[in-house]
Amino acid sequence: MRVLNRSQVPWLIFVVLATLTALWIYLGNFQPELLPATFPVPSSLLQKPSDHRSIGGTPLGLVLGTISLGIFVFAALLGMRKKLPFLPVGNVQRWLRAHIWLTLLTIPLILLHSGFRLGSPMTTTLMVLYAIVMVSGIYGLVLQNRLPMMMKESLPAEIVFEQIPNVRAQLCAAAEKLQRSLKQQAISGSVVVATDISQEEVLAGFIEQRLIPYLRARRGEKHRLGQAREADEVFRHLKLRVDEVYRPSVDEMRRWCEERRLTDTEVRMQHWLHGWLFVHVPLSFLLLLMTVWHAFVTLFRY
Amino acid sequence: MDEERGTQREIAKSYRDRVQARFTRTMWRRMRFLLSILLFAGGVLAIYYCEKAKPQEFFNTGPLSRSHAHLKDGCVSCHTPDRLTSSAGQQQDFFQVLNDRFEKGAPSIERIDRACAKCHQQHDFHEPNVITNRSCSACHKEHQGLDALMAVANLDCASCHNNSKIMQASADRGRQLPPQSFHLNPKLVNLRQIVLQLRRPADGYTKTFASFSEGHPPFQLQRENVRDNDLLRFNHARHLNSSDIPPTKAGKLDCNYCHQPEPNGRYMQPISFEAHCQECHSLQFDVRNPDFQLPHGDAQLVRTFLRTLPAQYAELARRKRGLTNETKINEFAVQQVRQLLTQFPNAQELERSVFFTRDPYKGLQQNDASSRAKYTGCAFCHEVKQAAGISYPTAEITKPVMIERWLPHAHFSHAKHATVASCRECHVAAQSSKLTSDVLIPAKETCVRCHSPTGIARKASECATCHLYHSPGQASSVPKTASTISLEQMLLGASRSGVRGPSP
């Protein structure tokens, strides 16, 4: 699913209008000389004479800061909304859209709130945290917009990410089951068309030494079977070494390897797709905590 | 590709019976959750540390100003570390603080200003008709570098002066106050200077405007077409343009010959006859004795001098001619008086001529510079009147009053302007002014040419470039009266209806 599509247009318009409005009011209050004479800010939007010591401390600065803090809180609630899908508060897609666009709106709001200054080490820390969170978020947004398309092209059968270990375990179990079966056949000699017992041993040995280690590996791409071309070579040789009767089993093993390779590709892509959250989510909560503290300290201490 | 991949339904079917009933957390999710918890806990610990240890630098929003950079107690000199307290010392309600913040911007105004008042006790606020007093830090931005504290922005002034409601209320309040409530700021005017004091307009200075270049009214002296009432006759045009005026010792006569700046370069030194006029306008009334000159500055002294001429000539003989023999001294004096009286019918006429002559160059135009410097008569420059009720010609000379500060509500530095403009570029009218009553102070428009956002002095176009916000610090010059209110009282909302100390 592409994150950016036509349904985002109303949000885009809203954010652009909100940014222009905030900038207009900001300039009207703090730098009226920069405002074109044809767009004066009405007196109702001009704040009263304020005994501020910084732009953030003025009533307008506080309004901008409060809106931003509210957006931070709302953005943090997205995770909770995902955990509680039954709540009748709009579907997750809408929440995600609001999360993306409202947090993008905080960029102009925070800049105007700060008056384009970093301020103290405390507020500088906040700004750095905010910048990391926003950059990681925008990076994630780009990936979320590009990677699903790439996954669709390179993954014929996408598996639910959380189910990948389970699927891999099932592949291992299937391989072990086939190995046990082949060993049993080799011992009992009950094969219908048993021309050469060593073929079963060859297959069982292949499964034990090559296939199962590959299917169990954490990083499959380091194994020979993890490379599609080499795996094809291996299975072609294997097929040549066994009779017709065992070739379906070899094909079956080849499909398991293909499936394992697909899961590897998917894991890799999923790591790209969700890896940024490793930075974004923890720092977002830290940012929220520090912002609340910043609001408390500046409102009630200084 | 879709054919290869199959539909979602087909994919789901292929995995049917192969998925676990319950989603499990992946390692990555677990690590992300753990990291979030760890960072959050780290944040809580950092906040706890800051609340306990209060590392000052962490909250310092920027370098202090030059004036405050060396406060011995550091941050606590101004910022008390306890929670917000009201003026009564009680903790404020949470919602009240929020309301104050969103209404006024800073509820800590009283506390931070009390910290200012610890050192700046003689600061008074603005004019007595101010409606709302401002926190010191509203205009004086601290923590913004060494010199930012005094750089008060136009916007701070315009927050009231560009607000018609506030200005109207201020005008209303000003009308209710006695005129003596308003006085010149001694920081702006030197008490030794002769200052033009115009009557305060009925509405005070409450016209609404945004900045000097936008809406600032013309200077009051031009608005009211003020004339110079000095009765000393002076013709700028003749002194600056006439070709028949010989060069002085310092060269051709120009503005700088008379108007010399004070040592600090701000204003001009007072004009004096001895320094600026006498080189041309000699007091030598006896052609035969160039070094025998009338005294200047006191009509009574001149009269006494003339009525004791023999004694004055005798003194001349002793001091300048080197005579020691009393007989010869007397002979010299008598001879000089006789010679002088050949030009005048009698002593009475001599005195009349000295005081009331008004046509000095008559008969002297053809003389060269060495013999031209003759006495021209007091009345050539001064207003000389016959003393009332006395038949003998007794002159009274109106003392000249030369105003040295025409714009006492603002400060100015000639030195700063001398590098960018000549005198005549600003004082344009001087070239053609023939009357003493012409006021040659440049109009506001002349200043705006440079002091505007598009002018070369755009950085010096703030209100504070010329004006001071703080009204007179009474305590230093005049004892405080009972009705004078302190900065703290003012901030705490004490009544402003009382009359302040007398004007300086």
Does any CB of chain A come closer than 8 Å to the CB of residue B238?
Answer: no
Copy the structure tokens of residue B290: 């160039």
Cross-chain Cβ contact B159/A49 below 8 Å: yes
Structure confidence at residue B190 (pLDDT): 77
Both A110 and A255 in one domain: the answer is no
Mean pLDDT of B104-127: 72
Q: Please, where are the H alpha helices in B427-471? A: 444-448
Contacts of B109 in chain A (CB under 8 A): 51
In a domain, A45, yes or no: yes
Q: How far is B103 from chain A (nearest CA, A)?
A: 6
Q: How far is B56 from chain A (nearest CA, A)?
A: 10
Q: In the structure, what pLDDT confidence band is assigned to residue A75 with cuts at 50, 70 and 90?
A: very high
- Closest-approach residue (CA) in chain B for A32: B155
Mean pLDDT of B390-415: 88
Does any CB of chain A come closer than 8 Å to the CB of residue B419?
Answer: no
Contacts of B84 in chain A (CB under 8 A): 300-301
Q: How far apart are CA A235 and CA A207, in angstroms?
A: 12
Residue of A47, A57, A277 lying closest to B106 (CB–CB): A57
Mean pLDDT of A233-247: 87
Q: How far apart are CA B36 and CA B20, in angstroms?
A: 27
- Tell me which residue of A296, A204, A221 sits closest to A257, measured CA to CA: A221
Contacts of B159 in chain A (CB under 8 A): 49-50
Mean pLDDT of B73-97: 66
Both A30 and A144 in one domain: the answer is yes
Q: Which residues contact B199 (CB under 8 A, 6 or more apart)?
A: none
Report yes or no: A178 and A253 within 8 Å, Cβ to Cβ.
Answer: yes
Q: Which site among A27, A51, A288 would you substitute to test the B interface, given the most B Cβ atoms closer than 10 Å to its Cβ?
A: A51
Q: How far apart are CA B375 and CA B389, in angstroms?
A: 28
Residue of A51, A160, A297 lying closest to B135 (CB–CB): A51
Does any CB of chain A come closer than 8 Å to the CB of residue B22?
Answer: no
Cross-chain Cβ contact B141/A53 below 8 Å: yes
Both A126 and A28 in one domain: the answer is yes
Q: Please, where are the H alpha helices in chain A? A: 9-30, 59-83, 92-114, 121-154, 164-188, 197-206, 212-216, 228-241, 247-275, 277-300
Residue of A122, A285, A301 lying closest to B40 (CB–CB): A285
Contacts of A283 in chain B (CB under 8 A): 39
Kindly tell me the burial class for residue A7, based on how many C-beta atoms sit within 10 Å of its own C-beta (0-12, 13-18, 19 or more): exposed
Contacts of B5 in chain A (CB under 8 A): 152, 155-157
Has residue A65 got a pLDDT over 90?
A: yes
Structure confidence at residue B112 (pLDDT): 77
End-to-end CA distance of chain B: 95
Contacts of A123 in chain B (CB under 8 A): 61
Longest dimension (CA), chain A: 100
Structure confidence at residue B183 (pLDDT): 79
Mean pLDDT of A187-206: 68
Has residue A1 got a pLDDT over 90?
A: no
Kindly tell me the burial class for residue B70, based on how many C-beta atoms sit within 10 Å of its own C-beta (0-12, 13-18, 19 or more): exposed
Q: Which residues contact A175 (CB under 8 A, 6 or more apart)?
A: A207, A211, A212, A215, A253, A256
Cross-chain Cβ contact B103/A48 below 8 Å: yes
Does any CB of chain A come closer than 8 Å to the CB of residue B426?
Answer: no
Does any CB of chain A come closer than 8 Å to the CB of residue B311?
Answer: no
Residue of A59, A62, A162 lying closest to B24 (CB–CB): A162
pLDDT in tens, B372-385: 436 778 888 999 98
Buried b (16+ CB within 10 A) or exposed e, A79-115: eebeeeeeeeeeeeeebbbbbbbbbbbbbbbbbbbbb
Does any CB of chain A come closer than 8 Å to the CB of residue B86?
Answer: no
Average pLDDT along chain B: 79
- Number of folded domains in chain A? 2
Does any CB of chain A come closer than 8 Å to the CB of residue B60?
Answer: yes
Both A130 and A221 in one domain: the answer is no
pLDDT in tens, A198-222: 678 888 889 999 999 999 888 888 8
The angle subtended at Cα A284 by Cα A279 and Cα A290, nearest 5°, is: 125
Report yes or no: B312 and B296 within 8 Å, Cβ to Cβ.
Answer: no
Contacts of A301 in chain B (CB under 8 A): 83-84
Copy the structure tokens of residue B126: 């603005």
In a domain, A102, yes or no: yes
Report yes or no: B133 and B491 within 8 Å, Cβ to Cβ.
Answer: yes
Structure confidence at residue B415 (pLDDT): 92
Q: In the structure, what pLDDT confidence band is assigned to residue B79 with cuts at 50, 70 and 90?
A: confident
- Closest-approach residue (CA) in chain A for B103: A59
Both A184 and A262 in one domain: the answer is yes
Percent of chain A with pLDDT over 90: 35
Q: Which of A194-208, A242-256, B467-481 has the highest mean pLDDT?
A: A242-256
Residue of B5, B44, B108 lying closest to A157 (CB–CB): B5
In a domain, A111, yes or no: yes
In a domain, A1, yes or no: no
Q: How far apart are CA B162 and CA B288, in angstroms?
A: 69
Average pLDDT along chain A: 86
Q: How far apart are CA B202 and CA B185, in angstroms?
A: 19
The model carries a pTM of 0.62
Cross-chain Cβ contact A299/B97 below 8 Å: yes
Has residue A182 got a pLDDT over 60?
A: yes
Has residue B438 got a pLDDT over 80?
A: yes
Return the number of other C-beta atoms located less than 10 Å from residue B223's C-beta.
12
Cross-chain Cβ contact A165/B159 below 8 Å: no
Amino acid identity, position A268 = R
Q: Which of A45-49, A165-169, B59-63, B106-110 has the highest mean pLDDT?
A: A165-169
- Closest-approach residue (CA) in chain A for B138: A51
Residue of A33, A62, A300 lying closest to B453 (CB–CB): A33
Copy the structure tokens of residue B467: 């004006």
- Tell me which residue of A78, A80, A76, A137 sits closest to A107, measured CA to CA: A137
Q: In the structure, what pLDDT confidence band is assigned to residue B6 with cuts at 50, 70 and 90?
A: low
Does any CB of chain A come closer than 8 Å to the CB of residue B98?
Answer: yes
Structure confidence at residue B374 (pLDDT): 60
Contacts of B132 in chain A (CB under 8 A): 49
Cross-chain Cβ contact A163/B20 below 8 Å: yes
Both A119 and A242 in one domain: the answer is no
* Residues 40 through 59 of chain B touching chain A, CB cutoff 8 Å: 40, 42-44, 47, 50, 57-59
Cross-chain Cβ contact A300/B39 below 8 Å: no
Cross-chain Cβ contact B60/A166 below 8 Å: no
Among A271-280, B77-86, B168-177, which stretch is predicted with the lowest mean pLDDT? Answer: B77-86
Does any CB of chain A come closer than 8 Å to the CB of residue B26?
Answer: yes
Has residue B423 got a pLDDT over 70?
A: yes
Cross-chain Cβ contact B15/A167 below 8 Å: yes
- Closest-approach residue (CA) in chain B for A44: B163
In chain B, where the domains are located:
53-180+473-504, 276-397
ipTM over 0.90: no
Structure confidence at residue A58 (pLDDT): 83
Cross-chain Cβ contact B58/A162 below 8 Å: no
* Domain that includes residue A145, residue range: 6-156+277-300
Contacts of A282 in chain B (CB under 8 A): 32, 35-36, 38-40
Both A150 and A248 in one domain: the answer is no
Both A197 and A284 in one domain: the answer is no
Has residue A302 got a pLDDT over 80?
A: no
Among A7-21, A276-290, B127-141, which stretch is predicted with the lowest mean pLDDT? Answer: B127-141
Contacts of B59 in chain A (CB under 8 A): 120-122, 297, 302
Return the number of other C-beta atoms located less than 10 Å from residue B161's C-beta.
22
What values do phi and psi take at B388, rounded to 5? Answer: -70, 140
Cross-chain Cβ contact A30/B155 below 8 Å: yes
pLDDT in tens, B321-370: 888 899 999 999 999 988 888 877 888 888 888 888 775 445 444 455 44
In a domain, A60, yes or no: yes
Cross-chain Cβ contact B47/A161 below 8 Å: no
Does any CB of chain A come closer than 8 Å to the CB of residue B95?
Answer: no
User: How many A×B Cβ pairs under 8 Å?
Assistant: 147
Q: In the structure, what pLDDT confidence band is assigned to residue B495 with cuts at 50, 70 and 90?
A: very low
Both A209 and A66 in one domain: the answer is no
Residue of B60, B103, B141 lying closest to A120 (CB–CB): B60
- Tell me which residue of B181, B73, B189, B184 sits closest to B130, measured CA to CA: B181
Structure confidence at residue B118 (pLDDT): 82
What values do phi and psi take at A50, rounded to 5? Answer: -115, 135
Copy the structure tokens of residue B112: 């931070």
